[in-house]
Each structure stands twice: as structure tokens, then as C-alpha cells.
Structure 1
Amino acid sequence: MHVLTVAYGHPSDPAAFDDHYAATHSPLARSVPGVREFTARHCASLDGTRPPYHLIAQLGFDSAADLQAGLASPEGRAAAADLESFADGGATLFVAHD
């Protein structure tokens, strides 16, 4: 399994971010070809301080080739382009694999 993790920084308007993520971005991400698993969770710290990220999403693919093909697809490009419309706190992307 190859997992693309997207760690979203804190947005200027968390409610607007969450609304856009739920209504627009999550459906775009779920539509990327090859996605086998999708999770998105808000972050909290153990000690009550502000966590480093607002939300972390993970998209699981069967292989590196599937991940690359998914990101290069029209759906993958649309999801990437959508980041500019709501992720003003930035987004860090990385891949983990078995």
C-alpha cells in the first residue's frame, strides 16, 4: 500500500475551510482513480496546545504506479488545482509505503 498524506496547515477561516473540504475537495479526492482508502481527520494535541495541522487526509493506493497515475489523471489534477481555492494555511504532501 502506498499512502499519500496531505497535512493541512491552519486556515484563516476554519469553518469555511471545513465547509469547502466536505462539500468540494473531499469528493474530488475520492474520485481520483486508484484510491482504495480515504480518511480525513481533524487534529488535536495531547496537551491542549495548538497542533501543527488543522486536518490530515490520507489516500491509499495499491502501488506507486497507481498513485502516480491517479495524481496525473484529470481527477487528480482537479483535486490538486482545488487546493488554491481553500488551503490558505498551506498543505504538506508526502508518501508512505510498506
Structure 2
Amino acid sequence: MSHQISVCYGEPTDPTAFDEYYRTIHIPLTTRVPGLAGFTWGKCASLDGSTPAYYAVAHLLFSSEEDLLQALDSPQMREAGRDVRNFATGGVTMYTQKLEPTTP
């Protein structure tokens, strides 16, 4: 069963600066986390045209709960976590999930 960390970023005070920092500094830090099986991120848009609850959301995927727990305890994850305060001026919400497989 795979697990993931979701990181939800609020609207930054300077979206251009956020995007540049995120792409050039933060993503390289994050992709060094041990046990990381996948990483995606994207900017949010609401279906009804209103302002979405989050500016962007990132997902860090791990193959097992053990991999997730080891990653959370790693120096690389601590470094990436400390880095968030350098660019996430709109706040951030983070949580983990145990992903349940479904069939369409």
C-alpha cells in the first residue's frame, strides 16, 4: 500500500517569486528525500472560477509506510521542511495519506 505527503500552499504574496524559488531551490531539495517514489505538483484552479483554497499542491509518493516514516525522519526531509518558510508566504498545510486503490 502506498503512502503520500500532500503539501498545500496558500496564495503567496508574490506568486512569481514563489514559482521561481519553488522550481529552482525547493524541488531539488525535495527530490533528494530518501525513499521518494514519485513527486508531482501543480497550481490550483477552482471548477467554478472562484479563488481556490490553495495556490498549489505537491504530492510526495512513497511505496510503503516504512519508506514514508524513514523519509520523515531523514535529514533531507528536515532540510526541505525548514526551507518552506523561505517561500511559502501564504501559509502551508501538510498531511499524510494511506492511498487506497480503486478501480474505475
TM-score tier by shorter-chain length is over 0.9
Q: CA deviation at 1:39?
A: 0.2
- 1:59-97 CA distances to partner (integer Å, 9 max, x unpaired)? 000122211211221111110000010001111111111
Counterpart secondary structure, 1:3: strand
1:11 aligns with 2:12: yes
Paired residue for 1:60? Answer: 61
Paired residue for 2:36? Answer: 35
Structure 1 residue runs of 4 or more that deviate by more than 4 Å after TM superposition: none
- Between the two proteins, the alignment pairs up a number of residues equal to 98
Unpaired stretches in structure 1, ≥5 consecutive residues: none
1:92 aligns with 2:93: yes
Counterpart secondary structure, 1:82: helix
In percent, how many aligned pairs have the same letter?
45
Q: Which amino acid aligns with 2:89?
A: D
Q: Which amino acid aligns with 1:50?
A: T
1:22 aligns with 2:23: yes
- 1:18-71 CA distances to partner (integer Å, 9 max, x unpaired)? 100000111111110000010001000111111000000000001222112112
Aligned-residue CA RMSD in angstroms? 0.8
Paired residue for 1:2? Answer: 3
Structure 2 CA distance, aligned partners of 1:13 and 1:55? 13
